[in-house]
Homo-oligomer: A and B are copies of this chain.
Amino acid sequence: MNYVNLLNKIREDNPLIHNITNYVTVNDCANVVLAIGASPIMADDILEVEEIVSISSALVINIGTLNQRVINSMLKACKKANQLNIPVILDPVGAGASSLRNNTVKDILSQVKVDVIRGNLSEISFLAGQSVSTKGVDTSEEDEKNNAIDIANLVARKYSCVVGITGIVDIVSDGSKFAKISNGNELLSRVTGTGCMTSALVGSFCGITEDYFIATILGIATMGIAGEIAFEKSGIIGTGSFRSSIIDAISTMNNSKFLERAKIDEAND
């Protein structure tokens, strides 16, 4: 595993990560990119996204508060990234919830090569062409995990990319192999933007390695471990302090903390 090298490399290389994202969690995404050792740049006007992505090491597309103006910017930025072999990470926030989101995700995936898709089980299931409600369905954790593996593999093959599904258990698949990550804390779901931040972390790691499978594992595991550390520090205090502690934990993450806690099982499909 190259995890340790990559944790050091991101702080040495300080890659610039271009984010076209939503206005709810954009500040947290910028701070998490800084915390892991990369540099964020947010730019979404169609007149500048090509120039900005050209000086960046990765492009993160997040459709959390989509509007028609920005959809064109997203497509233009993605196409430029493809031309320049800059990795594209897609966070299909709320896919399945509206035609605008569904059509935008389909447009991006049909016109552009996406390198990593990171979402929850409901969002990724939509991309698989399956309707899965993650809420109120009485499934066991084991069922959910097996379902997530199948869906991650399916979507990874369909779009020839790496897929990361985050939930009780996190799954990363490149279509032929997959990994399970068992880090995390349930309080992460009570702070807005922890999913968006995870995608921004994945983007940060994609900025320093062409092994996007490893980069996705590393981004997701970093957030899971940070959630555990933050819970130990502030879980009882409340979600305001817990949120600060997530950024604290990422900004002070180092090899020994990561290796001591990481619960990553890689497996062949």
Contacts and interface: CB of A to CB of B under 8 A. Distances in A.
B239 A51 contact: no
Given A23-B23, A66-B45, A51 B190 contact: no
Interface stretch (A29-37, A109-117, A145-153): A29-37
Copies of this polypeptide in the complex:
3
Interface stretch (A94-102, A121-129, A216-224): A94-102
A249 B237 CA distance: 8
A42 interface: yes
Given A47-B68, A64-B42, A67-B45, A97 B34 contact: no
Interface of A: 22-28, 30-31, 34-35, 40-45, 47-48, 51-52, 55, 64-69, 94, 97-101, 190-193, 237-241, 243-252
23 contacts: A23-B23, A24-B42, A25-B27, A27-B27, A31-B239, A40-B192, A42-B64, A44-B67, A47-B99, A48-B66, A48-B100, A51-B97, A51-B98, A51-B100, A52-B97, A52-B98, A237-B248, A238-B251, A239-B247, A239-B251, A240-B251, A241-B245, A241-B248
